[in-house]
Each structure stands twice: as structure tokens, then as C-alpha cells.
């Protein structure tokens, strides 16, 4: 093993980039011992080369020229942390084609172009590392790629967006409704100025696509996946959930079924007995169910400067080992040749069965409930429980129901008819109840 | 990559060995796709070659000659599943010295001879895989070796013995005292005929030594570690724990401190708000705290045929990749050269501070409690709460106390003096209360 220095070039000097600089510096000695050579940042590219990030950077290390960084001979490994599709994709491809390993946290580009990028890495015989793209510092990518490589995975699901989980945790604790809590999360740096990517479920979707490829060896079209964010979750539904023994979480769920991959992102009521119900604040929890292994759970900080930087540095170490040994990595980016991943059908949401929580606002007149239950019965929906706890306010009574397992399309049909009733005073709120997570069904 | 077959030789055809045969057969196709070559059992050695394990084995594959298996040219990788120190150690060394990768679930031999075995693997340039040695199918070994390689680990702790956790879960649910539940666990195959290795904490100790080496890069002497099993845990203490908001678990704890490694195995009261309190039945949960990553948790089936076999097969795939590529593995057995691991001092239990739960059986006479509290005060132990709920039975009153943080040696001194009091009717029960898991302190 040549005792030289491994040079890292960083594209994108935001929060995670700053964390990577800090981890590499603070743990330089132990990392050097592991590798037998120092691992050092030699170049950082960012459009903003003025702002102080709180870490000292030698003059001349910063550049606005990412392409120059990629082609700098001192750069052995390229870290892409700018996010988004372009120019991230082009930067990664250029680096890989130049024979340089790439490490990234960019789930958006992986979800859209993961196969193209992995293929380029395989052709170049270099590492494409993306542990940081899902679950921050939780090593769920490596677990899927290597640790369960001999199993057949049936299900991968969990809480993969720390921002949403923070917001829902605050709301569940009665510390405000959505808009108010988002404002607080923004002040704490837990939500972006424009929080849409997180709260509308897109971040979770991109992570789900990455997990699905690793867990099942199947590529799904993100556009075919049902995605609902958390904007419509309200304190009143959280209170009902609590009464029923559930916690509302934003879940990303993928199941490998005979009819295709069931993949979906939406708020759901999770039984309080499930470990995911205990995942609070900005933490993440990912559950994996395999035929041989059964259920395993990975829990930790799913975001934040230092946790995510840990994942980037783990990939850097893997890449550096390969560079130092002058060997191609033995494990491919997806744990199997990118060409061997199958394009899979996504099961339409309309065909999926759930128990449902439904909250109606009905006018306080006799017969309203009868009309609704009649319509539900006419499409074959069976009701498990009905609750009408509160006193009417402004002439409207909240009525909460829980259905037995019902196909989404039957429910949609019934709700379209119910919407036309004069007695219905607001759009009904529907939240799926996850009673079969981690079970054959 | 040469498209040949990789032959696996299995030494030890018990439960896990049978699971390995099943996983390799049932998932042969997907494993073959990952590797680009079939991975097959070619030889199985066991002293008992008569018993039917429920899997079909071709005639001639079974042998009682383990050394013959190791030297069989058709065997590319040796799996050692016989457990114990010898001949397991010799078999592993012979295989490694013959240039054959070794995969094992044997925490006893790793805890005693891990450095010797890892050194032999490094010299031969082959894999020594032991993912199955801790946490069954939970990929905690690989997480420590690779995923947190850039972090500085501060703490690793958890529930690592499924047998004990099953017994404690049953007892906490009121389904019998220790002896009765052990009998049931034996009938269910969850406890050995002689359950000592599990219930006396030795299994947890061996796993803790493996975790400590991986997490901190430090080798500790198992004989220096304080180990208490679960034989003395009783239903009455479980009931008190529940009243106070705790669950009694057998914990293995290691902390990297300035004074050495704090390492210990004993029953402890875990706050119900901690994820470990939710780990029920035969499941395991391992928590890791790193400076950058913070706390992460790994949860799953810590034992059993198929989960543990999954971990063995993950290591087999890693070893097979290296054999097929004709390359030494890039990651060493401990994630760093075995020679770079430091021998570390184990902090004496006497010097460690805890809050303690203590249950006394006192004679029902005035003054007994005063004498005890006077002794405790004389060695500087401060009492947080005292409870005396129940009516006396046979003239003895149970008195339950909780101390503030107290050094073990101060408590031992006080208890020695308290034992001499005529009013004390039975040996006091002491259980540590873990209030600082996952915190700086």
C-alpha cells in the first residue's frame, strides 16, 4: 500500500460540506491509522466563496470552478453535495469518467439517474458512494448493499425525513399547528426557507426510490408513486390518533409483491406498539423485513451537519481504500451490476388495501350519518368503529370512522359521492391506518 | 471475473449451519446474480453425521473429518460454527494459513483469540468474517467496521443476548419466575439444556469484547470485566421497576473514557422512554454513540436459525467477492490492522458510579430503616426515594430505595455493614439504574 495522501475535492460547501471538513480534521489521526494514509480536503468548489462557514480554509483552496476541481490531479475523490439534478449529474459523470470515485448525499439525482451513474462507476472501476443520501448517518445503505445480501427482502419502510418528523412530533405534543411549527423549524435550521421538498414528501420519495433499488434490486419510476405530504395533518386528527392508540407519521413504504412494487409516501397512523411510533423529533427510523432475517430496524439522526458528514466520510474511507490499493471496489454501487436491476411496475395506489381513518364534518341534523354509511356500504366498505365525541361547533359535528381493509379505489368512489351530500360541511380527512407493517398480508 | 463456482465448507452442522444451507439454497439465484458465480456448500463436517436436520444433503457431502474439509481443494471458504475455543481456534488458523477465508459466529473464540485470528487473516490476505457473532442477523459488526469508520465512538451498549431478553420479557409480563420461564425457554429451543453461558452473562461478555474492539479499536481482557447474569432477578423487583417507570434488561455496556474502557454486563433498570426498554422477547438492540453521529440503534432478531444464517451468508458473499476477484479484501477484520488495536485498561467496577435500586427485607420493628440510612449516609450515599408499600409477611417488610449517583465501592462498603444488622432478613437486592445511557457524564 503506497503511503501517499488521498486528496478529496468537495463540490458544495453548505452544511454537510462543512461537516465533512470538520470530521476529516477532527478525526484525521484515527482515519489515517485505518487507511495507512492521510485523507485530506485539497479543494472546495462553491458558487459562494465568501461566506464564513466557521471552519478555517487555506487561501486558494476555495474555487468557484467545479470542473477545474474535478480535473485537478491532486483530487483523488470527488464529493458532490450541491443536490438537485443538474449540474450535479454532469459533475458526477465527469468525475467517474475521469476514473475518480464519487461520494454524494444527493437522493434527487440518484432517484432520477442512479442507474446511469452506477453504470459509469462500474465501467470506471471506482466507488460511487451514497450512504449519506438516505437516513443521514444511519448506515442503512451499506446494510442493504452488503449485510442482507443473502436474504430476499420483502419490505422496506420507515420515517426518512427528519424535518417532517420534527414537525409531526411537535404537533403531536400540542405545540402548534402545521404553519406555526414549520416557522419554528425554519428558525431552528430544521426546515428550508421553502420547505416544499420536505413537507410535500418529495425528499421521502427520492429516498424510497433509492431504498427500493437496493432492497429489491428493482428500479421504479418516481412519477408512478403516490406521494402525499403533511400539510393537511391537523392537531385534531393527532388527538384522535392518540385516543385510538396511534401516532401520525410520514411514512415511505415499499413492498415487493407478485403484482409489482407497492411504493407510497403519505402520513399514516402507526400503532404505538410499533418502534416507528417512538421515533421522535428529527430522528429517522428505517425498517427492513427479509424472508430469512425477519424485521430489523435502523434508527438515528437522519439529518444534520455532523451525522450526515459521518456517512460521507465512511464512503470516503471506502473509496480511499480502493484508490490506495489500486483496485476496483469489490462491492458495486447497488451491490449487484446496475444492468441486472429490473425495471418494476409500481402497483397503482387505487389497488392497494388499507384500513382508513376518516373524519367528516357533518351538519347537526338527523340522517347525515345514515346517508354516509349507506354510501360506504354500497361500495362494500365495512366500518369498524364510529365516534362522535364532541359537541357541535358552528352547526357542524365531527364524526370519526375507522374502516376495515378497503381498496383505495372503493374509498375514492364513496368519497366522491359523499362530497355531493348537503350534510357534508368540509372535505373529509382520510389517513391510512398501518396495521400490517412488517407482516405478511 | 472468472465464472467459476465458489465452494463453501461448513464445520458444525447445528441450527445455524442448517440455516446457512437453507439460505444458500433458497436464495441461490439472487446470490449468484450478485456474485456472478454460484456460491455452494460442497462439504459439511460434524461429529454427528447421522441426525436428520430437515435439509437434504447429498451422500458423501457429510464428513466427520474437519481437517480434511479444510484441506479439500473444492473448499474455497471455511465456515466455523462449532463454537468454543478449541478446536475452533485451530480450525480457523489452519484455514487462514491455507489462504482460505473464514466465516464464523463464534464470539467465544473471537473474544479470546480475535487478534491472533485477525492477524492470520491479514497475513493471508483473506476475509475473516464474524458478522454473525453479535446480534444474529443485525448488521452491527459491518456498521462498526465500515459505516462509522470516520467517527470517534464514545459508547456501545445494548441487549445482545436473546435468551436472557426472552426470559426477562416473560417475567416482566408476569408469566413466571426465573426457573419456570427458563424451563419454558428450553422447551421452545430458546435456551440450552445448560443455560449458564447465556443466563450468567458470558455470552454477552464475549459479544461486548468483540464490540469494544470494533467500536474503540481497543482490546480488553474479558476477565477484568464485571459480569452478572439474570438468575437473581425476581418478579417483585420487576414490579417495582414498572412502578418507577423502568424495565429490567440484561445490558452489556462499554464506554471509552479517559481512565480506560468502562465495560460491564449486568441486569439494569432502563427508563421506559429509552428504545431498549421496547426490545422484547428474543430480539436484540445495540446502541452506538459517536461524537459526530450521535446515537444510532440497531434492532432485530439476535439469534435463531435463519436470522443468524443471513449474517453468515453476508460474510460468505464478501469472502466470495474477494476470492473471485483474486484480491485481498480492502477492509481488514477489525476495520484497521489488528496490530494497531491497543490493549486497554478496564475501569474497575468499584470505581464506576450509578444510581442504584436496593430492596431490603427488614424485620418489622421500629428503627431498622434508621440504622440502614445512617450507614448509607456514613459512606456518603444519598437516598433519592424510599418506598415501603407492602404489608409485612412473616415479620419481614420489603423496603425499596433509590440512591443518587454512588460509586460502587461506597455501596459495597455500606452493604457489608448493613448485612451485619440483625434487622436485615435477607441479602439486599441491588440493581443499577441506567439514567445516563447515551449521555455525556
Three-class secondary structure of residue A42 per DSSP: strand
Q: Which residues on chain B are in Cβ contact (under 8 Å) with A337?
A: 36
A125: left (phi over 0), alpha (psi -120 to 50) or beta: left
Residue-level pLDDT at B389: 67
CATH code of the domain in which B167 resides: 3.30.360.10
Residue A427 C-alpha, separation from nearest chain B C-alpha, in angstroms: 37
Same domain flag for B85 and B214: no
Task: Give me the active site residues of B, please.
Answer: 207
Gap between the Cα atoms of B352 and B222, Å rounded: 17
B113, A272 in Cβ contact below 8 A?
A: no
Q: Which residues on chain A are in Cβ contact (under 8 Å) with B325?
A: 327-328, 330
Same domain flag for B230 and B261: yes
Residue-level pLDDT at A388: 80
* Chain A residue nearest residue B313, CA to CA: A150
Gap between the Cα atoms of B20 and B37, Å rounded: 18
Please pick, among A107, A207, A218, A249, the residue that the annotation labels catalytic: A207
Name the β-bridge partners of A194.
none
C-alpha cell at B237: 423487583
**Could you tell me where the beta strands, DSSP code E, fall in B127-183?**
128-129, 153-159
Read off the DSSP letter of residue A61: S
Same domain flag for B50 and B156: no
Same domain flag for A144 and A289: yes
Find, among A61, A58, A53, the residue nearest to A13 by Cα. Answer: A53
Same domain flag for A191 and A229: yes
Within a domain: B392: yes
A192, A198 in Cβ contact below 8 A?
A: yes
Asked if B336 lies within 8 A of A34 by C-beta distance, the reply is yes
* Chain A residue nearest residue B141, CA to CA: A147
Q: Which residues on chain B are in Cβ contact (under 8 Å) with A26?
A: 152, 291-292
Same domain flag for B152 and B289: yes
Within a domain: A369: yes
Q: Which residues on chain A are in Cβ contact (under 8 Å) with B34?
A: 149, 335-336
Same domain flag for B169 and B256: yes
Within a domain: A1: no
Confidence of residue A1 (pLDDT cuts 50, 70, 90): very low
Residue B34 has its nearest CB partner, among A142, A149, A311, at A149
Residue-level pLDDT at B26: 94
pLDDT at A338 over 70: yes
Three-class secondary structure of residue B412 per DSSP: helix
Query: What does pLDDT average to in each consecutive run of 10 residues of chain B (441 residues)?
Result: 81 95 94 92 93 87 96 97 96 98 97 98 98 92 91 96 96 95 92 94 98 97 97 94 95 96 98 93 95 94 90 96 94 95 95 94 85 94 85 78 94 94 91 84 51
Within a domain: A343: no
Read off the DSSP letter of residue B116: H
Residue A220 C-alpha, separation from nearest chain B C-alpha, in angstroms: 19
CATH code of the domain in which B388 resides: 3.30.70.260
Q: Beta strands B246-257 and A246-257: pairing type?
A: unpaired
Within a domain: B441: no
Same domain flag for B191 and B273: yes
Q: Prior bond to A8 cis, omega within 30?
A: no
- Is the ipTM value over 0.85, yes or no? yes
Gap between the Cα atoms of B403 and B363, Å rounded: 21
Asked if B299 lies within 8 A of A297 by C-beta distance, the reply is yes
Domain holding A407, by residue range, is 349-433
Residue-level pLDDT at A425: 87
Same domain flag for B168 and B277: yes
Asked if A137 lies within 8 A of B296 by C-beta distance, the reply is yes
Within a domain: B201: yes
Same domain flag for B179 and B261: yes
pLDDT at A391 over 70: no
Name the β-bridge partners of B271.
B246
What is the tally of structural domains in chain A? 3
Q: Could you tell me the pTM of the whole model? A: 0.94
**Could you tell me where the beta strands, DSSP code E, fall in A243-310?**
246-257, 260-271, 283-290, 294-301
Residue B150 has its nearest CB partner, among A151, A314, A335, at A314
Asked if A139 lies within 8 A of B330 by C-beta distance, the reply is no
Within a domain: A438: no
Same domain flag for B145 and B117: no
Within a domain: A414: yes
Distances (CA, A) of B235 to A28, B167, B168, B247: 50, 11, 9, 12
Name the β-bridge partners of B357.
B402, B431
Asked if A298 lies within 8 A of B297 by C-beta distance, the reply is yes
Residue A275 C-alpha, separation from nearest chain B C-alpha, in angstroms: 8
Find, among A70, A69, A79, A76, the residue nearest to A14 by Cα. Answer: A79
Domain termination residue (choose one: B287, B317, B340): B340
Distances (CA, A) of B6 to A20, A47, A334, B126, B311: 39, 50, 22, 14, 18
Residue of higher predicted confidence among A274 and B389: A274
Q: Which residue has the cell 459505516?
A: B147
Residue of higher predicted confidence among B49 and A255: A255
Same domain flag for B166 and B277: yes
pLDDT at A414 over 80: yes
Asked if B299 lies within 8 A of A296 by C-beta distance, the reply is yes
Residue A298 C-alpha, separation from nearest chain B C-alpha, in angstroms: 5
Residue-level pLDDT at A392: 62
Average pLDDT over residues A203-213: 98
CATH code of the domain in which A86 resides: 3.40.50.720
Residues A365-381 have pLDDT tens digits of 778 889 999 999 999 99
Residue-level pLDDT at B391: 65
Residue-level pLDDT at B1: 43
Residue B45 C-alpha, separation from nearest chain A C-alpha, in angstroms: 22
Gap between the Cα atoms of B286 and B253, Å rounded: 10
Confidence of residue A111 (pLDDT cuts 50, 70, 90): very high
Asked if B292 lies within 8 A of A307 by C-beta distance, the reply is yes
Amino acid at each position: 500500500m503506497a503511503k501517499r495522501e488521498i486528496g478529496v475535492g468537495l463540490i458544495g460547501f453548505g452544511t454537510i460540506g462543512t461537516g465533512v471538513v470538520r470530521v476529516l480534521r477532527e478525526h484525521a489521526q484515527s482515519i489515517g491509522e485505518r487507511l495507512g494514509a492521510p485523507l485530506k480536503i485539497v479543494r472546495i468548489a462553491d458558487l459562494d466563496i465568501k461566506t464564513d462557514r466557521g471552519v478555517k480554509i487555506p487561501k486558494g483552496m476555495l474555487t468557484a470552478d467545479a470542473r477545474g476541481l474535478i480535473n485537478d490531479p491532486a483530487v483523488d475523490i470527488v464529493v458532490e453535495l450541491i443536490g438537485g439534478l443538474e449540474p450535479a449529474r454532469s459533475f458526477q459523470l465527469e468525475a467517474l469518467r475521469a476514473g475518480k470515485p464519487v461520494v454524494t448525499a444527493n437522493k434527487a439525482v440518484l432517484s432520477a439517474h442512479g442507474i446511469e451513474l452506477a453504470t459509469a462507476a462500474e465501467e470506471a472501476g471506482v466507488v460511487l458512494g451514497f450512504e449519506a443520501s438516505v437516513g443521514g448517518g444511519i448506515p442503512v445503505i451499506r446494510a442493504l448493499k452488503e449485510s442482507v445480501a443473502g436474504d430476499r427482502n420483502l419490505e422496506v419502510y420507515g420515517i426518512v425525513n427528519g424535518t417532517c418528523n420534527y414537525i409531526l412530533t411537535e404537533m403531536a405534543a400540542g405545540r402548534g399547528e402545521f404553519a406555526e411549527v414549520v416557522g419554528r423549524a425554519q428558525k431552528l435550521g430544521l426546515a428550508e426557507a421553502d420547505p416544499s421538498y420536505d413537507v410535500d414528501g418529495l425528499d421521502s420519495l427520492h429516498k424510497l426510490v433509492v431504498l427500493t433499488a437496493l432492497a429489491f434490486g428493482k428500479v421504479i419510476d418516481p412519477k408512478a408513486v403516490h406521494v402525499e405530504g403533511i400539510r393537511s395533518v391537523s392537531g385534531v386528527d393527532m388527538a384522535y390518533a392518540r385516543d385510538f392508540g396511534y401516532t401520525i407519521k410520514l411514512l415511505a413504504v415499499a413492498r415487493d409483491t407478485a403484482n409489482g412494487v407497492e411504493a407510497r409516501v403519505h402520513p399514516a397512523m402507526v400503532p404505538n406498539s410499533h418502534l416507528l411510533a417512538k421515533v421522535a423529533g428529527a430522528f429517522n427510523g428505517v425498517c427492513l423485513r427479509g424472508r430469512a432475517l425477519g424485521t430489523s430496524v435502523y434508527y438515528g439522526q437522519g439529518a444534520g451537519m455532523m451525522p450526515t458528514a459521518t456517512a460521507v466520510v465512511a464512503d470516503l474511507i471506502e473509496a480511499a481504500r480502493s484508490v490506495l490499493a489500486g483496485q476496483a471496489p469489490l462491492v458495486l454501487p447497488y451491490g449487484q451490476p446496475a444492468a441486472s436491476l429490473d425495471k418494476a411496475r409500481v402497483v397503482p395506489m387505487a389497488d392497494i388495501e388499507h384500513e382508513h381513518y376518516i373524519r367528516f364534518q357533518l351538519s347537526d341534523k338527523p340522517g347525515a350519518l345514515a346517508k354516509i354509511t349507506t354510501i360506504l356500504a354500497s361500495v362494500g366498505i365495512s366500518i369498524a368503529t364510529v365516534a362522535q365525541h364532541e359537541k357541535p361547533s358552528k352547526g357542524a359535528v365531527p364524526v370519526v370512522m375507522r374502516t376495515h381493509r378497503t381498496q383505495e379505489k372503493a374509498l375514492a368512489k364513496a368519497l366522491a359521492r359523499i362530497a355531493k351530500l348537503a350534510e357534508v360541511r368540509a372535505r373529509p380527512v382520510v389517513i391510512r391506518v398501518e396495521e400490517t407493517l412488517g407482516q405478511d398480508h
